[in-house]
Structure 1
């Protein structure tokens, strides 16, 4: 998928997300204020943080679509995990504020019994945010965007927090108002957990971690199945944001001409890059095969 097309899809999803989140945050905030529910107010602030996170996603997608240049010869894809990292921090900070507010209300004894409107707000939020999660995660998987996936989990965490709000408000209306604040604290802990998970995933994409074992073995198998390749001297992979780079040293018959050895390397290059749409580049180095050397691995039968 071309970067421009990828950006257009992600941008369209993000604009829809911003509009829905602003409307939903206003509805939930009103339901929380008029319904006397601290859990609902906390939930509305979570939805409002989604607006800022989605704007960050749009910025990340716009930067990542830029082609490679002199200063960034490997491209700009890492802008997305950088934004995902920022989103994770925003989630954690927002959740910390929500949890702190809940603790203070319990200590000060300021709990009130929520009104029915708070229940309706929670139900509406659950339905809309779960739909937004499914809508966003489908688009994120289509364009393989870590930032958009992080934003999708913003929606899912919001839906889950609304489930907690609904339960807390319901119990509070039965005569136990402290449960409204307890629910706000539980919601905060859940959001922090999601934020930490997103943060760790973004770090992995920024430090050039290797691909998973299955992907590594698939690449290895493709290389060894290429005619003329006797073995692999070295194979390295690195995840560069949503793309993969492959560096391989193959060994071929030492008596081959330079032209023939180059053709084998070119075949390996083309087969690897054609095997997975996420592989952005494969660098192939050719070594002469010497049966007396012990460092060759993954050798084919001669």
Structure 2
């Protein structure tokens, strides 16, 4: 948040003083990132609140809600900037000084470094909002590259190439819209309870089947909630066992899965008789 705020102020000052709308557009993007960082921080904090009577599954969905709102805010800002860039096409203005190119180049290096840092953190934590923020840094780095190229064309092409500054701003907007729309789809998809990836499903299934007394796994549903997962598993046990014996097996399955898979927040175990026979047709 501090880096984005600093870059945003520097680029805004450079764009205004240097007469570069592309740099101003990039500055608005960074200043918007500072605001959205606050939203992400709040979402991650709220997601860690414990479960209560009204929210027995916890508040982890707040993380996905924060990510979707971040994406929407960035897209709205990009549309506004894009409209201003289109409106300015063909407008005659002074050639931006060479130091505006240095601002764009330094910003590109910083943003690319932040992208790799946050991408590593998101892979370790499985956090969607941090991943969204990481790709926003990559988008910013590419945007700064477009700004740098646009300024270079204006500097060395002369007054007849003034359109390159606004064109660079439009490229910035298109890059932002493409990346943030992908982030928005991912975050909203999480709110619809999609099944976890097949590799994790198979690992959980194998771990459950290795518990003594488990004859087979009939059903296994694993859904992501925030940076964690919830699992619903139907295990088949000997039909002649007592309820108490079956209950103990179910608890052993739950304990093993939660111990083995740190990302599992909770496991709901349902017992089925083995061999399992489907219910008769009506």
Q: What is the TM-score of this pair, normalised by structure 2? A: 0.92
The alignment covers a number of residue pairs equal to 276
Residues of 2 paired with 1:255 and 1:26: CA distance?
A: 72
Residue 115 (1) aligns with residue 97 (2): yes
1:274–1:110 Cα change, 3 Å:
farther
1:260-275 pair list within 5 angstroms: 260-275=245-260
- Deviation track 1:194-215 (CA, whole Å, cap 9, x = no partner) reads 1101101101211111101121
Q: What residue number does 1:75 align with?
A: 58
- How far apart are residue 263 of structure 1 and its match? 2.1
Please tell me whether residue 232 in structure 1 is matched to residue 214 in structure 2: no
Which of 27, 31, 40 is the matching residue for 1:44?
27
2:119, 2:131 within 8 Å by CA — same for their partners in 1? Answer: yes
Match for residue 129 of structure 2 among 147, 150, 157:
147
For 2:118, the equivalent position in structure 1 comes to 136
> Aligned equivalents of 1:168 and 1:55: distance in 2?
31
Runs of 5+ unmatched residues, structure 1: 1-17, 296-302
What is the Cα deviation at residue 133 of structure 1? 2.2
Counterpart of 1:286 (choices 250, 271, 280) is: 271
**Is 1:186–2:168 an aligned residue pair?**
no
Distance in 2 separating the partners of 1:233 and 1:127: 51
Q: Superposition RMSD on alpha carbons, in Å?
A: 1.7
**1:63 — aligned with what?**
46
- Give the SS at the match of 1:174: helix
Alignment partners' CA distance in 1, 2:220 and 2:233: 4
Structure 2 residue runs without a partner (length 5+): none
1:170 correspondence with 2:156: no
Matched residue of 2:55: which SS? coil
How much has 1:21 moved relative to structure 2?
Answer: 1.5
Alpha-carbon separation, structure 2, partners of 1:58 and 1:97: 25
Question: SS state of the match for residue 66, structure 2?
Answer: helix
What is residue 15 of structure 1 aligned with on the other side? Answer: none
TM-score by length of 1: 0.86
Give the structure 2 partner of residue 250 of structure 1.
Answer: 235
